[in-house]
Structure 1
């Protein structure tokens, strides 16, 4: 069962909803992640897409304490996609400890949108904002172990069934081996570096102020139980990313050498000003 969506809306699969798309700037090459679905992190105060830094096999972004942010998504494909999204290990729609089989946002072909907060209802969100780890939503709900990561699991939609001839046995074996291949292991070197080289308190995502954000519902049948793409963006303060070597440290400007004769005036010593 399918429903036609209104132009410019983002739908949720099953029990989820849809978010209005916004007019977005074209992203620069170093701010986007993903092949099926392009994902970036946006500072909502400036509208700027934050740079992504590659380090230790992972992507990192620098957050500013107190700043509200959004997860910007762009479906670059000619078909609908579903994005199951998590922040700090929590599903942003249901508040459950996140799993890839949970509900997510559905984007039409070519659609763009900013996901700006925790979904509270069909008409309201609580804004994402960078905050101290202890004040993050995950920590306040007793789940602090995965604070500091944004996750997006992308699923393609199952097409309408068509009659096709069975592939040769050799090809069937090859397809079965590919389907049963284990997922790639997650990189851990960067996490070890961050744990030992913190320069400031870490960042989490808070449960910010309420904002209006309308959504609709739609049906979506996944092509596979496994995500077609799994994106992971880690975040922390700029100070901590510099301390861990993820962001290059700024080069200090050399201090000017003091000169004993900065002006070298001609003539003799003038009288001081009168009282």
Structure 2
């Protein structure tokens, strides 16, 4: 049995009823949550909005805003407990170790949802997740800059107790009168009982991993701003308790990987499409008020 943390955070987060509108629609869809065993999303704590998740070349991306605090929102979609080992920039968010799937994590009850808002400092405090320049990230400042820019969640089902062996009821002793009929019944019984046991047996085999293959590091030759990482932000109150959890398998049942960077860098890398500008028609315009609403240049000096 392994000791695991049961998430019971009491930090209240105020979610606004509407997120700020963006002039660019994610493609091919504007998903904000991903995952099977658990629904995972990234929340901008400034306004409570779930950030759009962009899919590009087989990977998931979110656009962060330097200086903004964020949370990893996780909802258990199952009717049983699930353990989530979480990492940010390659660092375990509970223990601070270089992340591995066999480490400590958070245990979520059936259908439970909670926001993981920072690096766990104690049973009652966290240091807030905050988007910052990669060089100011917690991972970089602790000498681990290689995996800055990625959020990971490895999910495990709980081991179920083995079912008790079936109780075999002995057949009544036969007498000479119906001995032949009893022998015929006994010859048929084992196969039917064997079928029943086979149908009731739990499926065998290791858990199927849902992690997608990595597309490799994205080239940033055209990145207009420094890459983002996650800083060790200010202390906040957040309570957890301890529980026990035995994994059904040493391998995760599902792995979610979300990469992140600034919006400018994601546009430059082709993850987010460039804003579409309407061509200016020659002659009179049928919609003159629909020109892009950007700041015009000042009049030329004479």
Q: Specify the alignment match of 2:115 in structure 1.
A: 114
Distance of 1:164 and 1:230 partners within structure 2: 34
TM-score by length of 2: 0.71
1:12-51 aligned at under 5 Å gives the runs 14=3, 16-20=5-9, 30-51=31-52
Q: Distance in 1 between matches of 2:30 and 2:164?
A: 41
Alpha-carbon offset, residue 16 of structure 1: 3.3
How many Å separate the matches in 1 of 2:249 and 2:143?
32
Determine the structure 2 residue equivalent to 1:132: 133
| TM-score where L is the length of structure 1 | 0.78
- Residue 270 (structure 1) aligns with: none
Q: Say whether the 8 Å CA contact 1:19–1:115 is kept in structure 2.
A: no
What's the CA shift string for 1:90-149, capped at 9, x where partnerless?
000000000000000000001000000000000000000000000000000000000000
Q: Relative to structure 1, is the Cα distance of residues 78 and 182 closer, same or farther in structure 2, using a 3 angstrom cutoff? A: closer
Q: Is the 8 A contact 1:137 1:205 kept in 2?
A: yes
Aligned-pair CA distance for 1:14: 1.3
Gaps of 5+ in 2: 20-28, 167-193, 198-202, 285-302
Q: For the structure 1 residues 184 and 131, does the alpha-carbon distance in structure 2 shift closer, same or farther, using more than 3 Å as the test?
A: closer
The answer as to whether partners of 1:17 and 1:122 remain within 8 angstroms in 2 is no
Pair 1:125–1:256, CA change in 2 (3 A) = farther
2:273 to 248, 252, 262: 248
Q: Secondary structure at the match of 2:156?
A: strand
Distance 1:87 1:163, change over 3 A: same
Q: 1:201 to 1:92 in 2, by over 3 A?
A: same
Q: Distance in 1 between matches of 2:85 and 2:258?
A: 14
Matches within 5 A, 1:18-97: 18-20=7-9, 30-97=31-98
Equivalent positions of 1:1-275 (< 5 A) are 14=3, 16-20=5-9, 30-163=31-164, 179=206, 186-189=213-216, 191-192=217-218, 194-254=219-279
Looking at structure 2, the residues matched to 129 and 258 of structure 1 have their Cα atoms a distance apart, in angstroms, of 50
Q: For residue 272 of structure 1, what is the aligned residue in structure 2?
A: none
What is the CA distance between 1:200 and its match in structure 2?
1.3
* RMSD value, Cα: 3.2
SS of match in other structure, 2:72: strand
- Displacement of 1:203: 0.1
The runs of 5 or more residues in structure 1 that have no matched partner are: 2-12, 169-173, 260-275
Cα deviation code 1:174-203 (max 9, x no counterpart): 955xx49998672225x33x3333221100
Report SS of the residue matched to 2:75. strand
Q: CA deviation at 1:252?
A: 2.9
CA 1:195–1:164 in 2, change beyond 3 Å: closer, same or farther?
Answer: farther
Structure 1 residue aligned with 2:287: none
